[in-house]
Chain A
Amino acid sequence: MLMTPKSQAEKAEALKLIQFEQQAIPLMPKLMRKAMEFTFNNRADAEDLMQETYAKAYRYWESFEQGTNIYGWLKTILKHTSINRSAKESKHQQVGVLDGMADYKLGDEAHSVTVRATKSAESEVLDNLASNDVQDAVDNLKPEFRAVVQMAIVDGYSYQEIADILEIKIGTVMSRLHRGKKTLREVLYKYAQEEGYNVEAAAKESVVREAKKGSKK
């Protein structure tokens, strides 16, 4: 059978899978015992927890420093995943947890302030991007930035949790998140322009809107 030439990305992905299978998978029995502990010996829960932990470990793989304690690293992810799962369960009836500022408990006074419904020009641009573009842009971040962006935004980890898992300081978590997002904004804006989305028109429209509203400062 003829092998089709693989792209650089495919090769990297294959290598990653090999590393993962050689280093992370063999630790499963040991991790499973921990998972059973965390789930009070409920096997089905422990298996779910393991699956989520390993799926995350794979996603964060580039952020794991090769040659350091992989068991400790996996155990930290397991622990935080377990905590987050039970937290999620206990508040699963609360709505809008991820909805911007919706779940801040503010005084009625502050809460009644209406936030303008219109979007900024830039957020409209973001809205019009293809999902592939975004994934691409995230994939192309430096691994140390990507890990923090993913953990904070996609998986909802706290700064403290990210600091624990990546063994970095909270200040470093913050600066990587800020820089990662800044890079994403720049890259995605460029993508939008390349795809012919009329960035200037959107910006102009927004200016007109601002002018119409007048100043409320």
Chain B
Amino acid sequence: MDCADCQEQVHEYLQREVNEDLAAAITAHIANCDHCEDLYATEDQLNKVIRESCETQTPEQVIDKIRQHIAELG
């Protein structure tokens, strides 16, 4: 595992799309490489802020409408 490999896989690693062996190799590399650790931290942080700010993205009025239609299904 070198830096290029690690950086290429960082998104898949974060999305849990790599198998256990690869995940272990990436974790080990990140633990020993500041550069890749920074990259990982940044991408992880980006995911977090995206999650936090987009979680409730369906507007309340749309949810209300959906709920109302479901209730009418009888």
Contacts and interface: CB of A to CB of B under 8 A. Distances in A.
Interface stretch (A62-70, A76-84, A130-138, A193-201): A130-138
Given A106-B27, A110-B27, A154 B55 contact: yes
A58 B62 contact: yes
Interface residues of B, number: 46
Given A54-B66, A126-B45, A135 B57 contact: yes
Interface string A40-61: 0000000100110011101100
B2 to A, nearest CB: 11
Contact of A216 (B20, B34, B41, B57): B34
Contacts, number: 143
A114 interface: yes
A207 to B, nearest CB: 11
A153 interface: yes
Contacts of A59: 57-58
Interface in A160-217: 174, 177-178, 181, 184-185, 188, 206, 210, 213, 216-217
B37 to A, nearest CB: 6
Given A159-B15, A177-B11, A123 B45 contact: yes
A52 to B, nearest CB: 10
A34 to B, nearest CB: 12
B51 A116 contact: no
14 contacts: A51-B63, A55-B63, A104-B20, A110-B27, A113-B28, A126-B42, A131-B52, A134-B50, A134-B53, A135-B53, A138-B54, A154-B54, A158-B16, A177-B15
Interface of B: 11-17, 20, 23-24, 27-28, 30-34, 37-39, 41-47, 49-55, 57-59, 62-63, 65-67, 69-71, 73
